A and B are shown apart, each in its own frame.
Chain A
Amino acid sequence: MEAIVTRPAVSCCRRAVAAPGTAAPSRLLLLTTSTALPSGTRQKSTSARTRRALNIPPHPSFLDLPTTGAGKPAADGTTPARPTTDQIIFNPPSSAPSVLHTPFKFLPKSDPRRRANLASSLLAASTTLQYPSNPPTEASAAAAAAVDALPVVNPAMPTPRHHLSMADIEEMRALRAADPATHSVQALSKRFQCSKLFVLMCCQAPQEHRDKIAAEADKVKARWGPRRRQAREERGRRFEMLYRGEL
């Protein structure tokens, strides 16, 4: 990107993007960066160029050491490239909050930390206690709005409506028992306006239908090659490891 923006042809593109306009300039930028690279741009085509490109100076935080350390000009005005004294550089990565910090919502009613929830200093200091649920203030409303703006990973299941009566469930069971191929779980869930999980909770297909489905699945699995089989097995094993806390 560095190499691209220094070129005059692309800098005019950048200007076009910077100007307030329609979607066309941004498409132009996309074209420029991805496909229509100028032929004169130097790529990392050789190992020497790759090495040179990867040879980046250390992060300033490693060089910015107090007094006689590196990064500070020495007596003769030169800046040493690395620390000259025995110092421990502590530059930890950002990490997930500890599970030992109980979220505010999980504190029991009798806990003094909940009773003292007006002590906002405690809440501000903690990484996990940033969203006090009560009392509802303007700040908490703003926090709730901020949370709602975050993208949802899995769309939450709709809240159950409880609209089906016992007669409906009996009908569903009769349909499923009569012709499980036509009245599949998906078809029934559409017809009765309920979730597939609810259909599965209500009725069970006859044994021969389940055997047939299992046989079809086995036939498909028999056609898998070793790679696909191994990949699936490893995926399952990774989840087991995750649930045991090993990942």
Chain B
Amino acid sequence: MKRLRLDRFSGQLLVARPGQCPASTPRSALRSSAVSRCTAVRHQSSQAAYQIPQDDDYYDGTDHVRFPPLEKLPPRATSLPSPPPERALQSAKLAALKARLSLPEKLPLQTLARALVDASADENAQFNNTSLAFVGQSLINYHVAEWLMCRYPRLPMEILYAAMKGYAGPTSLHQVARSWGVEHAAAPGGEVDPGLLQFSLHKPAKAIIGFGSKRAEAHGMKKYKWRHSVSNRVVFDDDFGEVIDPEAHKTELLARADTEYGNEYTRSLAEQAYATCARAVVGALYAHAGREPAKAFVKAHILSRTLDLSRLFSFKKPTRELSMLCAREDFEPPVARLLSETGRLSRTPVFVVGIFSGADKLGEAAAPSLEHARAKASMNALKSWYLYSPGENVRVPSDVLGAEDDRPWEPAYIDMGEIVGR
């Protein structure tokens, strides 16, 4: 067995454990030489030597000689929960983000920096992005909702909620913010670059849970499974029809706080922080540049995303729903007819079934059994009813507010309502 030759190990390993390091080995001098090299650089620079804050109250044990700060920080910067606003002007990351998003000059960098500070990082509402995010989520949800209602006027309420969540929900806004190139700091603090998204995993109880109206009976709804109808959700709950239950969130957070990094929980916290940041950017844009740029921004970054609405549907009794639709609309009752088939007696038959109302074909589907094909064709017919669209470039009410479009407003198509109660 060979002897371990400590002197051939890299110096880093030895320095990392100075107590274990044998003083007699020639490499043990590395540490002092590193220090001397570092200080020499300092002395040769044109700037004055950096004054290390000697405040004992806030000293966090950092070896400032070995790890000098990258830029000159204002006094007590490390003691602040988030970077001071004046540092926003020096951040290259922030300027790059602003340029990437083509944000107008009217939006100052300080506000953009504030949009990157989550409430879990800085509790002070004057420095975090809560207020901006509230404005932003109202705008985003308004634009998404009006576009969906004008573009797909027959969507059932549940599908509308799901589509709203698909466009403007936390998961998709998180992806939007990531696609902007927003990066997050490992931990928030005054010394962090203001161009980084800052949120805390250790005190997430201050983070925003959601925006909406809380129900007084939320506890009973969970305990006794009280009914929670769709029309009820229009008034209460959040914009995606989901119950906001802060107590449940809080207990969950307390139970899982300070776990190790990289688990499902920390990922969900990061997702929330990113979504809040994306909303806050829209809110900041509205506050400084006005309605039209904010609308264009929402259209470019959120409504431009692709969501296949036909995959959001699920049915309970499609054939019955379709007969109810035909009865309501005074169409002839639907009849399933076999359009073509192959291999009826084989292992893999294919039946193509069409649903006809009178002479009109409403839907068509192919499936390996007659029952499946009939159900699938009914579902397709119902989907083509629900996904009726007046056109691709349908006008929405907020178009009338724009200065460039002065045509008179024609009322949008309003459907009479859902076929079956859910």
* CA gap between A238 and B203 in the complex, in Å: 46
Q: Name the one of B310, B376, B413 contacting A242, with C-beta atoms under 8 angstroms.
A: B376
Q: Which of A86-127 contact B (CB under 8 A)?
A: 96-97, 99-108, 110-111
Interfacial chain A residues near B366, Cβ < 8 Å: 96
Main secondary structure of the interface of B (DSSP, over half): mixed
* B339 sits at the interface (CB 8 A): yes
Is B365 a contact of A106 with CB atoms below 8 Å? Answer: no
> How many residues of chain B have a CB within 8 Å of chain A?
45
- Whether B110 is near chain A, meaning CB under 8 Å from some CB there, is no
B378 CB, nearest partner CB in chain A, Å? 10
A102 CA / B413 CA spacing, docked (Å): 15
CA distance A99 to B315 in the complex (A): 15
Closest to A132 in B: B360
Residue A133 is within 8 A (CB to CB) of chain B in the complex: yes
Max chain B C-beta neighbours (<10 A), residue from A99, A152, A156: A99
A100-B387 in contact (CB<8A): yes
> Which of B311, B337, B358, B360 contacts A245 (CB under 8 A)?
B311
Dominant secondary structure at the A interface: loop
CB neighbours of A156 from chain B (8 A): 333, 335
Instruction: Report B-chain residues with C-beta under 8 Å of the C-beta of A104.
Output: 360
List residues 143-188 of chain A with CB under 8 A from any CB of chain B: 143-144, 147, 150-154, 156
Chain A 64-81 interface residues, beta-carbon cutoff 8 Å to B: none
Q: Is the CB of B336 within 8 A of A152?
A: yes
* A192 at interface by CB-CB < 8 Å: no
Among residues of B, the one whose C-beta sits closest to the C-beta of A127 is B364
CB distance from A161 to the nearest CB of B (A): 15
CA distance A245 to B308 in the complex (A): 12
Give the contacts of B159-214 with A (CB-CB under 8 A).
none
> Given the complex of chains A and B, what is the CA–CA distance between A133 and B361 in angstroms?
10
Chain B minimum-CB-distance residue to A95: B366
Contact B384 A102 (CB under 8 A): yes
Residues of chain B within 8 A (CB-CB) of A128 are 361, 364, 384
Task: Decide: A153 near B338, CB < 8 A? Known: A99-B380, A242-B376, A243-B318.
Answer: yes
Q: Is A244 close to B, CB under 8 A?
A: yes
Q: Are B362 and A144 in contact (CB under 8 A)?
A: no
- Indicate whether B314 reaches chain A with its CB closer than 8 angstroms: yes
Q: Is there a chain B Cβ closer than 8 Å to A247's Cβ? A: yes
Q: A97-B364, A106-B362 are in contact. Are A243 and B384 (CB under 8 A)?
A: no
Query: B384: which of A100, A147, A154 is its contact (CB, 8 Å)?
Result: A100
What 5 A-B pairs are tightest by C-beta distance, nearest first?
A: A144-B359, A153-B336, A150-B337, A99-B383, A105-B360
